[in-house]
Amino acid sequence: MASRFIDALVASPLPIIMEVKRSDAEGVELIGNRPIEQIVSEYVAAGAPCISVVTGRWFGGVEQMLIDVAGLTDLPLLQKDFITREKQVIRAKEIGASAVLLTARILPKSTFQHMIETTLRHELTPFVEIADHEELASVVHAEQCIVAINNKDIRTQERGAGDLDRSRSLLDAVIDSGTPVPASASAITDPKIAAELVSSGFKGLLIGTGLLQADSIQGWIDAFERHRSAQAA
């Protein structure tokens, strides 16, 4: 099955999934008085290949946010929420998502695998989130999924600074899974660290808080590109 989300990310010179998120795990407001239109416009101008929209209530999200973003851009969209049932996948597609988040840690193995297959059957891309080797081993059809390492702990509602060493230690195994996009998600706030992760082999980074708290979204991306060029030299 062709994946619009994966194709856009792989083809882009900028491997960053930029995220629209109302608040962080600690409840800190990230968007403030800025309209969603402004955030999306800045992401598009910065070269985002695709956009993640957090509709989960932990982060102040609502479904309408995805509907609004879908009305503002033709970029492929990821719905980030606790997707556990087929009707949620169907609804995600109805309101404009090209991909949905499936979190291994919150689902029994059989249900997790069933949801991957369900998502593919509805012609959406599974953005599967894992945190250890056991969860990675449960991923089916990895060649049609984005396999993302979550640097935070879902069991503590993703509070705290996160652990980027988790991504570094799991990268080779994720690459070996066959996914076209080994990804790192959460806790990536420093453009230099982001560039290092891409240089090490990640094909996608999911970044929300770091971009939304930056003085300038374009400035953050420019810094990332400078570090990336310096590391490649």
Residue 32 predicted with pLDDT over 60:
yes
User: Please, are residues 217 and 225 in contact by the beta-carbon 8 Å criterion?
Assistant: no
What is the structure's pLDDT at 23? 86
d(CA 69, CA 57): 17
Residue 193: predicted pLDDT: 96
The reported pLDDT for the residue numbered 157 is 54
Alpha carbon distance 208, 210 (integer Å): 6
Long-range contacts of 151-154 (CB under 8 A, 24+ apart): 151/184, 151/185, 151/186, 151/187, 151/188, 152/25, 152/186, 152/187, 154/103, 154/105, 154/106, 154/129
Report how far residue 87's alpha carbon sits from residue 32's, in angstroms, rounded to the nearest whole number. 32
For residue 226, what pLDDT is reported? 97
Q: How much of the chain, in percent, has pLDDT values that exceed 90? A: 88
Which tokens in the block code for residue 83? 């997707």
**119-178 pLDDT, tens digit each:** 999 999 999 999 999 999 999 999 999 999 999 876 655 565 689 999 999 999 999 999
Over residues 178-200, the pLDDT tens digits come to: 999 999 999 999 999 999 999 99
- How far apart, in whole angstroms, are the C-alpha atoms of residue 42 and residue 189? 17
All domains of the chain, ordered by start, with CATH? 4-232 (3.20.20.70)
Beta bridge partners of 100: 79, 126
| 124's tokens | 């959406």
In the chain, % helix, strand, coil (3-state, to 5) comes to: 45, 20, 35
